[in-house]
């Protein structure tokens, strides 16, 4: 894949300079190591720092609903300018799902699609090539990743550091876009979802033991909720005190209830961008929960979230012939 940075910056500058665009959200070099930060570009000049590299893991679609909605001052006009957003394949599914749920309207966003040949798992990368203070650059190079640091280039095999979500990715090309950057990439052979399969092969007690160990680690920071592009309820049950759906105390019982509730709320909505798992400070494999549910939804209900903007939301619709083999 040849993602031309020049073309990206030129397009971004053009979009950001448009009258109808409030700001453009993209990626820029972080302050150190493998960090990549979100960039909010308001004018053409700001576009010069934008990048798109295998380190751009973050799903920027979350900023669409995260943006603060200030009340309109008396006599003022509401700011209904658009937000421009750079998306990878998985991020574009989040945008589509937001459209399905009417979280955003189509004319509120300008989607700039970046076909993505797969991003790296920064934790895995840092394990093998320790992070230094100096900001590192990365590039796609055919079947490899190219790590550029201190004027030195290191070739790293793709499979060595490819993020788990990308191994299982079926939509590397944006499913929705106004402007497409570069050429579409070819889909690749999917890896087996070993993590989920291994758990499915255990008996119920084995799974209970596994998840007990995982949920016990949870510190209830709610990072998984905050980073999720599809967790945007203004009145979240986790913040509610009356009625208290999930107690705030950090113990195994409440942690389990919280994690099940979180996963369930994303059933038929999760687009598997893997952000929750990436940001989890306790390294809980939340992706396994999400992928398991996504697979059930796909196999049993023949539904895939974030693909068709005209679809009915999964949990707010039904088919008369939904499976009911579990009913007594």
Q: Which residues bind other proteins (CB under 8 A)?
A: 199-200, 204-212, 215, 237, 245-247, 251-254, 256-257, 259-261, 263-264, 267-268, 289, 292-293, 296-297, 300-301, 314-316, 318, 320, 322-324, 326-328
Cis peptide before 51 (omega within 30 of 0): no
Query: What letter would DSSP give residue 44?
Result: G
Q: What is the CA radius of gyration of the chain?
A: 21
Q: How far is the CB of 315 from other proteins (least distance, A)?
A: 6
Pick 273 or 289: Cβ nearer other proteins: 289
Q: How far is the CB of 234 from other proteins (least distance, A)?
A: 18
Pick 19 or 203: Cβ nearer other proteins: 203
CB 25 within 8 A of CB 58: no
Q: How far is the CB of 210 from other proteins (least distance, A)?
A: 7
Q: How far is the CB of 325 from other proteins (least distance, A)?
A: 9
Pick 60 or 267: Cβ nearer other proteins: 267
Count of CB atoms situated within 10 Å of the CB of 102: 8
Pick 127 or 296: Cβ nearer other proteins: 296
Give the span between the Cα atoms of 167 and 58, in whole angstroms.
16
Q: How far is the CB of 218 from other proteins (least distance, A)?
A: 12
Pick 157 or 219: Cβ nearer other proteins: 219
Pick 129 or 314: Cβ nearer other proteins: 314
Give the span between the Cα atoms of 145 and 120, in whole angstroms.
9
Pick 154 or 317: Cβ nearer other proteins: 317
Q: How far is the CB of 261 from other proteins (least distance, A)?
A: 6
Q: Which own/partner pairs from 257-260 qualify as long-range (CB within 8 Å, at least 24 positions apart)?
A: 258/218, 258/220, 259/215, 259/218, 259/284, 259/286, 259/289
Q: Which residue has the tokens 């590299």?
A: 53
From residue 23, alpha-carbon distances to 15, 76, 83, 86, 148 in Å are 9, 20, 5, 11, 30
User: Within its chain, how far is the Cα of 66 from the centroid?
Assistant: 14
User: Within its chain, how far is the Cα of 227 from the centroid?
Assistant: 8
Q: How far is the CB of 37 from other proteins (least distance, A)?
A: 35
Q: How far is the CB of 230 from other proteins (least distance, A)?
A: 16
271: CB partners within 8 A, 6+ apart: 90, 93, 94, 96, 97, 229, 230, 305, 306
Pick 179 or 237: Cβ nearer other proteins: 237
Q: Which residues on neighbouring strands pair with residue 140, listed in sequence order?
A: 145
């Amino acid at each position: 894949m040849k993602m031309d940075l020049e073309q990206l910056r030129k397009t971004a500058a053009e979009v950001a300079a448009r009258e109808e665009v409030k700001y453009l959200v993209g990626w820029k070099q972080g302050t150190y190591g493998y960090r990549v930060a979100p960039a909010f570009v308001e004018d053409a000049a700001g576009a010069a720092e934008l990048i798109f590299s295998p380190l751009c893991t973050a799903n920027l679609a979350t900023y669409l609903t995260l943006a603060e909605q200030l009340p309109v001052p008396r006599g003022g006009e509401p700011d209904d300018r658009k937000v421009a957003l750079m998306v990878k394949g998985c991020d574009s599914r989040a945008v589509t799902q937001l459209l399905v749920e009417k979280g955003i309207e189509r004319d509120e966003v300008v989607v700039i699609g970046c076909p993505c040949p797969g991003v790296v798992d920064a934790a895995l990368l840092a394990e093998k090539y320790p992070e230094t203070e100096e900001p590192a650059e990365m590039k796609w190079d055919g079947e490899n990743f190219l790590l550029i640091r201190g004027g030195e280039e290191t070739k790293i095999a793709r499979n060595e550091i490819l993020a788990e979500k990308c191994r299982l990715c079926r939509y590397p090309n944006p499913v929705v876009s106004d402007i497409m950057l570069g050429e579409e990439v070819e889909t690749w052979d999917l890896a087996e979802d070993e993590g989920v399969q291994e758990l499915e092969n255990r008996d119920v007690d084995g799974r209970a033991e596994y998840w007990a160990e995982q949920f016990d680690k949870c510190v209830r920071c709610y990072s998984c909720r905050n980073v999720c592009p599809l967790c945007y309820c203004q009145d979240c049950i986790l913040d509610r005190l009356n009625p208290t759906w999930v107690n705030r105390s950090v113990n195994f019982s409440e942690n389990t209830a919280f994690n099940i509730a979180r996963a369930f709320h994303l059933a038929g909505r999760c687009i598997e961008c893997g952000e929750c798992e990436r940001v989890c400070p306790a390294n809980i494999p939340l992706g396994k929960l999400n992928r398991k549910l996504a697979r059930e939804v796909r196999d049993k209900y023949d539904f895939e979230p974030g693909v068709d903007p005209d679809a009915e939301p999964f949990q707010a619709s039904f088919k008369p012939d939904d499976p009911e083999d579990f009913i007594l």
